[in-house]
Structure 1
């Protein structure tokens, strides 16, 4: 795991980070859909008898378990790279860095072409400041 990133190192990771965020967003959406489907199925079988010897929830629950495993693996890959995943839905990530001897977080959000902002480690997205032009 990388302790600190330069702006160039963080920017070099943006394409793979972007791809992983898109995958996570897709997994999250599929999970939500399957969860809703499972709730409908459970409601149905509260009023109807399931087929003999068959678990009507098994397939959906297995699919959800697999999606959860896949999502957890992607989240772990962020950690292994040293990238902090802050929010899946908005595609928000931070890269630990140093600026003028201070520990900061380079901040990137899905839709941005490159890293242009940072904030202190105790500040959130609302505390973003523009990086000085090199």
Structure 2
């Protein structure tokens, strides 16, 4: 079953969507940081050796990364379950499927905007964005 949003419903959902988006952006940044740390640690051990027998110096970082990935996937699923389409995590681009004058469109919101005030056709993407008229 496809979920369609009115502009009012999309705007009412924005506080929760913003919160989950910010959490997802934070998780993504933490993952990048831990990945970089892991690569540096592996490079260090490749150059200098110093690995103790029966030790895994990467275990903790890899576990933390696995947990972040699980947490991120849970948030992604939360968007899907609401019927909201997360288009880009970094720029905070989110679409809400809607019907406008009998046509299927996507109400479009980008992080930093006060409310859902734009839409575009299903195939148009962000570049086809148009301002909603009251």
TM-score of the superposed pair, with normalisation by structure 1: 0.96
Instruction: Show CA shifts across 1:64-89 (max 9, x none).
Output: 00000000000000000000000000
State the match for 2:32 in structure 1.
32
Structure 2 unaligned runs (5+)?
Answer: none
Q: How many residues align?
A: 133
Alignment match, 1:76: 77
Contact 1:4–1:98 (8 Å) recurs in 2: yes
List 4+ stretches of structure 1 deviating above 6 A.
Answer: none
Measure the CA separation in 2 of the matches of 1:25 and 1:12. 21
1-side partners of 2:91 and 2:121: how far apart? 20
> Distance between the aligned counterparts of 1:39 and 1:84, measured in 2?
32
Unaligned stretches of 5+ residues in structure 1: none
Alpha-carbon deviation of 1:53?
Answer: 1.2
2-structure distance, mates of 1:123, 1:75: 23
